[in-house]
Amino acid sequence: MGDPALDITTEDLGFLCDDPNCELAGGPLGLTAAEIQARVLALRAKPSAPADNEPEDDELGEAEDLEGGGEDEVDEDDEPADDPADPTAIDPLGQGAPCPVCRAAQPPRRGKLLAIANRGLYARVLAAVTGLFGLRYWQLVESDSTSGTNRLLDAQRHALGDATKSKATSSFVIGRKLITAVVLKELPFDGHLLRFGNRDAAIHTFTTVPGKKGQKPRQKRAWVQGEAKYGLEHGPPGPSARANPVYVRELQEDLIWLGYLSTSRGSVTPGQFDVFTLGAVLGFKQDLIEIYGIASSDKRIDVKPGSVRAGEFSTAIWSQPKFLSPVRSMLDWVTALRGGGKRKGVLGVAKALVSNVQNNLAKAKTAKKFRAYLERFELHRTTLEALMDGWPHLAALEAVDRPFKPFAPKAATRAVGELAPVPPGKQPKYADASALAADAVWSSEGYNARDMNRSFFLADLNKALEAVKKTLAYLDDLRARMAALKPPAEVDAEWTTAKSAAEQTVTTLMTLLGLVRYWILDSPTQVTAWLAHIVEMGTVDQPTAVYLKALREGGKIGPGRRPAYQLQPLTSKDDFASPDALATFLREECTKRTPNAPGAKSTTMPEIVALQFFGNETGLKFTHSLAPFNTRAEDKDTRLVMLGVDTNSYRKGSFDAVFHAGGDWFWSRGWGVGQATEANGTLDGMQLRRGLPILPPGSDAVQHPKAYVDSKTSITDAMTRKVLAKYNRTMRRDCTFSGVPFGAYYDCHTCLKRFFDENLRGVGKYGKGGAFVPKNETVLGNPDHSDGFFLDLERYTPFSRGKEGVEDPDAAKRYRRLFNADPGPVDPNVADVLRKMDGATAIATAAEVVAKAAGVDKATLVAAVQAHVKARTQLPCSWLQVRISYAGKGEQAFSSLFDLLDVVGDLKASNETVIKHIKEASALRRS
């Protein structure tokens, strides 16, 4: 029985019935045995009910049997007619005690009792919540040597002086299902460890359907039978496991309810522990550590059946607090090599050193000039030293020929100058970038290595290797030029000292670059080890399973006794009747808002842009069906709010284990129609953590922000809090299409269609060769680093001209015709700078060259170029800029502009409802 001080007494116990028709199914949380006996006596005094009032069999029983969680039917003729009303004398096998009130009813029912500790030590952790259908949730139940139900009954017998004990079954009890209390043998998932690659006996996946009458075979989703495979060091379920177990689907269901798994991003396969499930488990484990305060262990800790003491379970989970992926390391090295923003990398500084020696020191004829140039030389050298001293992830380069396990942030054990070169005789897996790019790990379908991530990431690796090669060449050149340099005699000693320091710097940097080059060319070895590592860390070990079930059933875990947010169950009535109805509401939500220009045919947000905006996010749906993930019969018709998960991959989107950047496993979540996404913040007074509401410690009820659970509020919230907020941060340039300066006509379809008709859209997903040019403060024409766009109707930039493109000398006429605006003449020097804007050259760099040739001030020229760009930014209106800023920055954000252009201007979309409403709105605007 354990510690007598922790035993449950008679006064602590109450009882509930699982039959919704029983009066013990609702009301107070549990009645005592004496109260039950009184009700039984009262019922026996009542006349029998007519036979035609006999309730039909509960459909739950059959459904639960299919899932392996149902309870055996009891033939009433086999039951003793004089069973005692005292529940402490029944249920010897822990299968659920027959309810005396149901037995005494006329006609009798088949309800079963559940013992509840509603007072005393266990009142906090053993609580039943009653609702419309009676018993809804159970939290964790302690079980030292017997089933949880038996333990409670034995405790009451013990308190009454009866030493009789029920048959020991070494079980762990969690109440799981609506109405029915289900006993899970051993541990959650029957003690199996679930991990990537596991599958249930039947999984819902794609199967090939043979074609009929000469037609081609087609793919469809269906339940496919196979062998159940579970866990680490576990074979298929043994005799103690449930019949027809669905452990993986049960895990996926729990993760969906808690908001960690989304069916709207990626293609999650029910019943198979796929890569999306892996990402969800890693996200859940990270929150266990960071939010709930659960400790982590680098070794798997087993939990013995019956060892879990309710409210005191604190076993560490198999995980680690922080992760550092090979992708993150290499991306940070790319920045360190090439620089970013206004900061130079080692490549740029090494080049500057060579230039200083070649063009300055070597040509200095006087000691005064030499000393001036030497001061700049020393500044470059110390900058190089600082870049090396701050080299990111230096610890990964201390043993490049071994996997960097456990892929966690680590402090280097030696300074950069103490790093040993690549061990003699060691060679990386590949000799060059082209061979590296062909490795199969970058295209692993099982780990969802997406082609788009692959192309961008390998392009960056190629840039990194090219930067290493160029830097090494600069360093060789630097050494040769330093050796050949003959300074004026007066500064010979100063040069000797400076040269010696530079030699040491060059030696250190060459060693560092050699290690970086080795690591990158050998990176498939690191990535393979990384994938194996996160599979281990993403295993649902037994402590994690206990915490998962505790939170899923409404329990409180961790030092702060914090409960988990769970999605609110919805029905089809909580959604719009159809996508058409949603689109209508969306249009009305836009048109009823205060116009930007009084009396104009405008709204704060153009409804045509909104249609593409929200249609792209969710397909004009607010809820999705929990099927085929549900394992609880009562959830067969349940719908949940749509969650879109942006992960911390190389390019945001669905989980990608190969190109995941480590750190946060879930970047953020968007919800509902609006898919408004916040990584951290507040919503309706609720703290958000990576997009999910976090309940305060000690909360007794789940709070649901309306933006999470109400379809209409989801739209208005997303529009007000996310979309309009971004519009207010733009230039707020209203519609120019009406032919009126600062007008507000907003027939977006007809407006944007002109860019297709006049060949201004460009080609490809970035519109190269078109008028829309990506920009930021530093460069023009590079989608990877864009934070917006400008219209280059003159076609000055190489991006806008495209291949074999030409400049447009009549662009001013086009500006007047398209926007009723006169951009004014373009200064020839500004045009020359723009012609050099190839996406790599900085505005300041190009301006310096042009200014020197033209004999003008560089700063003035830079300002003129920026003014030219600003005048053409956010045309034809600021809403195109909103579309980019909503998607963030970089190529993904810039490509979202062309999604908008294609759908709104060219009506290219698979969503027919969106196209229909765009046409309708455009026609109304033209009328």
SS (H, E, C) 166-205: CCCCCCCEECCCCCCCCCCCCCHHHHCCECCCCECCEEEE
Instruction: Give the pLDDT confidence of 775-808 residue by residue, as tens digits.
Output: 998 999 999 889 999 999 999 999 999 888 899 9
Name, in order, each residue with C-beta under 8 angstroms of 662's C-beta and a sequence gap of 6 or more: 323, 324, 325, 327, 328, 407, 648
> Which pLDDT score is estimated for 211?
83
Alpha-helix runs per DSSP H in 291-431: 326-338, 346-359, 367-389
Query: CA–CA separation, 647 vs 663, rounded Å?
Result: 10
Closest CA to 427 of 506, 528, 509, 514: 514
Name, in order, each residue with C-beta under 8 angstroms of 899's C-beta and a sequence gap of 6 or more: 612, 616
Residue 239 clears pLDDT 90, i.e. is over it: no
Query: CA–CA separation, 791 vs 794, rounded Å?
Result: 9
By percentage, how much of the chain surpasses pLDDT 70?
79
Closest CA to 143 of 316, 314, 301, 303: 303
Query: CA–CA separation, 602 vs 620, rounded Å?
Result: 23
Q: Are the CB atoms for 124 and 160 separated by under 8 Å?
A: no
Residue 603 clears pLDDT 80, i.e. is over it: no
Residue 322 clears pLDDT 60, i.e. is over it: yes
Average pLDDT, the chain: 81
The 3-state DSSP class for residue 579 equals helix
Instruction: Give the pLDDT confidence of 269-290 residue by residue, as tens digits.
Output: 999 999 999 999 999 999 999 9
Tokens for 591, please give them: 């048109």
- Of 38-42, 148-152, 619-623, least confident by mean pLDDT is 148-152
> Which pLDDT score is estimated for 213?
77
Cα-Cα end-to-end distance for the chain = 82
Residue 405 clears pLDDT 60, i.e. is over it: yes
Model confidence at 47, pLDDT cuts 50, 70, 90, reads low
> Which pLDDT score is estimated for 474?
97
DSSP state letters, 523-572: HHHHHHHHHHHHHHHTSB-HHHHHHHHHHHTT-EETTTTEEPP-PPPB-G
Q: Are the CB atoms for 592 and 584 separated by under 8 Å?
A: no
Please state the rounded mean pLDDT for residues 746-766: 92
Query: CA–CA separation, 558 vs 312, rounded Å?
Result: 9
Q: Which of 186-195, 669-678, 812-821 has the highest mean pLDDT?
A: 812-821
Would strands 317-318 and 296-297 be described as parallel, antiparallel, or unpaired? Answer: parallel
DSSP state letters, 717-764: HIIIIIIHHHHTTS------TTSSTT-----HHHHHHHHHHTT-S-BT
Tokens for 255, please give them: 């993760």
Please state the rounded mean pLDDT for residues 708-731: 87
Model confidence at 773, pLDDT cuts 50, 70, 90, reads very high
> Which pLDDT score is estimated for 675?
72
Within its chain, how far is the Cα of 27 from the centroid? Answer: 41
> Which pLDDT score is estimated for 191?
82
Query: CA–CA separation, 824 vs 822, rounded Å?
Result: 5
- Of 58-62, 362-366, 649-653, 907-911, least confident by mean pLDDT is 58-62
By percentage, how much of the chain surpasses pLDDT 90?
50
Residue 495 clears pLDDT 60, i.e. is over it: yes
Tokens for 620, please give them: 């004009």
> Which pLDDT score is estimated for 25?
64
> Which pLDDT score is estimated for 163?
57
Closest CA to 570 of 615, 621, 645, 617: 621
The 3-state DSSP class for residue 49 equals coil
Query: CA–CA separation, 889 vs 897, rounded Å?
Result: 11
Encoded amino acid at 630, one letter = N
Radius of gyration for the alpha carbons in the chain, expressed in angstroms and rounded = 34
Rounded alpha-carbon distances, angstroms, from residue 671 to 567, 635, 692? 11, 21, 9
Query: CA–CA separation, 666 vs 654, rounded Å?
Result: 10
Model confidence at 170, pLDDT cuts 50, 70, 90, reads very low
Q: Are the CB atoms for 271 and 249 separated by under 8 Å?
A: yes
Query: CA–CA separation, 289 vs 637, rounded Å?
Result: 34
Q: Are the CB atoms for 721 and 674 separated by under 8 Å?
A: no
Residue 649 clears pLDDT 60, i.e. is over it: yes
Instruction: Give the pLDDT confidence of 842-851 residue by residue, as tens digits.
Output: 999 999 999 9
Please state the rounded mean pLDDT for residues 124-129: 33
Tokens for 76, please give them: 């009433």
Decide: residue 784, CB within 10 A, 0-12 exposed, 13-18 middle, 19+ buried. Answer: middle
Tokens for 231, please give them: 């866990």
Encoded amino acid at 283, one letter = G
Closest CA to 87 of 103, 98, 72, 95: 98
**Model pTM score:** 0.79
Closest CA to 626 of 584, 567, 674: 567
Query: CA–CA separation, 621 vs 641, rounded Å?
Result: 9
Query: CA–CA separation, 819 vs 791, rounded Å?
Result: 12
Q: Are the CB atoms for 305 and 170 separated by under 8 Å?
A: yes
Q: For the packed helices 891-900 and 607-618, what is the interaxial angle rounded to 10 degrees?
A: 120
Higher pLDDT, residue 731 or 537: 537
Closest CA to 187 of 237, 137, 260: 237
> Which pLDDT score is estimated for 601?
67
Residue 121 clears pLDDT 70, i.e. is over it: no
- Of 224-228, 530-534, 673-677, 766-770, least confident by mean pLDDT is 673-677
Residue 838 clears pLDDT 80, i.e. is over it: yes
Query: CA–CA separation, 635 vs 69, rounded Å?
Result: 14
Alpha-helix runs per DSSP H in 78-199: 100-104, 148-159
Q: Are the CB atoms for 531 and 538 separated by under 8 Å?
A: no
Model confidence at 381, pLDDT cuts 50, 70, 90, reads very high
Would strands 668-671 and 643-646 be described as parallel, antiparallel, or unpaired? Answer: antiparallel
Encoded amino acid at 854, one letter = A
Please state the rounded mean pLDDT for residues 709-733: 86
Model confidence at 15, pLDDT cuts 50, 70, 90, reads low
Residue 81 clears pLDDT 50, i.e. is over it: no
Residue 208 clears pLDDT 80, i.e. is over it: yes
